[in-house]
């Protein structure tokens, strides 16, 4: 094997990193309560959790600071492998981010000159922000060294990647590299590699042929039918979050669009509403929504579009959901959207643990803060907070088809 594997291993002082996956599908369970009980419970929750929040925030901050310090040290050490004139492959992830930061410093302070090939657009944007020259993989005939993370490494330095399913770009860059360096933490060191389910990334073109080869070897690739089986178990009330996210653009847009369309088809077949995650993809997102709107009801979670887009969604019979963002100083678009649509099409949410409303912005969000969102909407609509709470609760109950407990 021509590629040389080198692992830079660093210790997290006994702290295990917890990987949080982005769930494509979610289950929902609700209970309707009177507004007085709701506000009382929210007040009790805020009082009871204030001390816990403060302690948890401090512990989380300390743990993150320790982890980041060790990742930074590893990134700085790995950056020493990049020399003038090299063509370097730059991977993706939190440790690689520190690597790119250090390379950016060397470019500025030491005059380092090298060419980079990245495995994601996120890393490309970061590197180009430092003035690092980034080229396409097709523009080079080789890569001197690629530095990336890994999922598992054993004590003999055998390793495996692919747990994040971002395989295609990484594989292409690695195949063209003379040397590969993986930066891993102690939690990735195992006795035997391969204990986690390894995803296989299959692009739409030729996907059927891949499935046939898997089946011929006795493998049973999971697809949307498996998800459909889950949804007919009787516990699921909606399919979500699904949609498009162009903010980082790590997954090619045509692939995102393909699966968004497939998931909408699944929702249609199962008769389930959908919860949409859409970020910086308004045009493409709306094109797919228009295609399915007469068959699939939906709600735009954490709505960030224009008032015109909001009005079109209402005309299509869809809902909009708003978070603590409505309390931010730069929330003009959200406020305009709220003003442009009827209350009967508005929901409120936390997007926990993110987007806590003012005055809790920056803290871990939770349902005890939801009344702040209702207060802002009430201000815009000229209603009481109680009225907004009652209407949005009824909207959510109707959308998710949740019984009231009154003979339904």
- State how far the alpha carbon of 207 is from the alpha carbons of 99, 214, 253, 406, in Å: 35, 11, 17, 49
| Contact (Cβ atoms closer than 8 angstroms) between residue 41 and residue 33 | yes
Which tokens sit at 93? 């992830």
- State how far the alpha carbon of 398 is from the alpha carbons of 29, 338, 375, 386, in Å: 13, 19, 22, 18
pLDDT at 47: 54
pLDDT at 205: 67
Burial 79-89 (b: 16+ CB within 10 A, else e): bebbeeeebbb
List the one residue out of 103, 134, 122 whose CA is nearest residue 164. Answer: 122
State yes or no: is 170 an active-site residue: yes
**What residue ranges define each of the domains in the chain, with the CATH number in brackets?**
4-11+71-190 (3.40.50.1360), 224-399 (3.20.20.140)
pLDDT at 344: 97
pLDDT at 7: 38
pLDDT at 295: 94
What is the spatial distance between Cα 303 and Cα 292, in angstroms, rounded to a whole number?
Answer: 19
pLDDT at 312: 97
User: In the beta sheet, which residues pair with residue 189?
Assistant: 153
What is the spatial distance between Cα 25 and Cα 54, in angstroms, rounded to a whole number?
Answer: 31
Catalytic residue among 77, 110, 152, 170: 170
User: In the beta sheet, which residues pair with residue 181?
Assistant: 6, 147
Which tokens sit at 277? 């995650």
pLDDT at 60: 59
Mind listing the pLDDT tens digit of every residue in the chain (408 residues)? Answer: 333 333 333 222 222 222 222 223 333 333 334 444 445 555 554 555 455 555 555 555 677 777 788 888 888 999 999 999 999 999 987 788 899 999 999 999 999 999 999 988 788 989 999 999 999 999 999 999 999 988 888 888 888 876 655 677 888 898 999 999 988 777 778 888 877 666 677 666 676 677 778 778 877 666 666 667 777 767 788 999 999 999 876 678 888 898 899 899 989 988 999 999 999 999 999 999 999 999 999 999 999 999 999 999 999 999 999 999 999 999 999 999 999 999 999 999 999 989 999 999 989 999 999 999 999 999 999 999 999 999 999 999 999 998 875 544
What is the spatial distance between Cα 281 and Cα 243, in angstroms, rounded to a whole number?
Answer: 9
- The DSSP 8-state label assigned to residue 218 in this structure reads T
pLDDT at 238: 93
Which tokens sit at 181? 């360096």
What beta strand segments (E) does 59-172 contain?
87-90, 115-118, 133-134, 145-148, 152-154, 159-160
What is the spatial distance between Cα 285 and Cα 103, in angstroms, rounded to a whole number?
Answer: 36
Inter-axis angle of helices 307-315 and 282-292, nearest 10: 10
List the one residue out of 274, 244, 272 whose CA is nearest residue 260. Answer: 244
pLDDT at 204: 60
Pairing between strand 145-148 and 87-90? parallel
pLDDT at 112: 96
For 143, counting Cβ atoms within 10 Å of its Cβ (0-12 exposed, 13-18 middle, 19+ buried), the class is buried
Q: Tell me: cis bond preceding 353? Omega within 30 of 0 counts.
A: yes
pLDDT at 65: 78
User: In the beta sheet, which residues pair with residue 321?
Assistant: 347
- H or E segment at 201? none
Phi, psi of 129 (to 5 degrees): -65, -25
């Amino acid at each position: 094997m021509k590629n040389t594997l080198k692992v830079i291993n660093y210790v997290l002082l006994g702290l295990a990193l917890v990987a949080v996956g982005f769930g494509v599908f979610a289950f929902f369970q609700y209970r309707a309560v009177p507004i007085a009980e709701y506000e009382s419970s929210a007040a009790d929750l805020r009082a009871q959790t204030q001390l816990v929040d403060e302690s948890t925030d401090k512990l989380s901050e300390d743990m993150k600071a320790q982890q980041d310090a060790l990742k930074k040290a590893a990134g700085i050490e790995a950056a020493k492998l990049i020399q003038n004139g090299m063509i370097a492959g730059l991977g993706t992830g939190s440790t690689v981010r520190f690597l790119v930061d250090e390379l950016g410093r060397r470019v500025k302070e030491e005059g380092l000159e090298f060419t980079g090939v990245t495995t994601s657009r996120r890393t490309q944007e970061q590197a180009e922000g430092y003035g690092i020259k980034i080229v396409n993989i097709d523009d080079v005939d080789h890569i001197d060294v690629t530095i990336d993370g890994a999922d598992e490494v054993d004590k003999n330095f055998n390793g495996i990647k692919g747990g994040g399913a971002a395989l295609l770009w990484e594989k292409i860059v690695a195949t063209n590299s003379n040397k590969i360096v993986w930066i891993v933490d102690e939690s990735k060191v195992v006795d035997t590699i391969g204990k986690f389910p390894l995803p296989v990334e299959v692009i739409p073109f030729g996907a059927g042929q891949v499935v046939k080869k898997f089946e011929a070897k006795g493998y049973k690739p999971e697809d949307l039918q498996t998800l459909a089986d889950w949804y007919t178990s009787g516990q699921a009330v909606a399919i979500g979050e699904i949609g498009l996210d162009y903010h980082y653009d790590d997954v090619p847009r045509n692939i995102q669009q393909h699966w968004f369309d497939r998931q909408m088809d699944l929702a249609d077949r199962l008769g389930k509403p959908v919860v949409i995650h859409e970020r910086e993809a308004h045009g493409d997102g709306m094109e797919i929504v228009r295609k399915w709107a007469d068959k699939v009801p939906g709600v735009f979670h954490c709505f960030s579009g224009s008032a015109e887009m909001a009005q079109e969604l209402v005309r299509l019979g869809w809902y909009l959901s708003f978070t603590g963002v409505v309390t931010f100083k730069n929330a003009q678009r959200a406020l305009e959207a709220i003003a442009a649509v009827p209350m009967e099409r508005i929901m409120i949410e936390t997007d926990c643990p993110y987007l806590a409303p003012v005055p809790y912005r920056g803290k871990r969000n939770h349902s005890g803060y939801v009344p702040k969102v209702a207060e802002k909407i009430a201000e815009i609509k000229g209603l009481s907070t109680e009225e907004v709470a009652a209407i949005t609760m009824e909207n959510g109950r109707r959308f998710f088809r949740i019984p009231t407990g009154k003979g339904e």
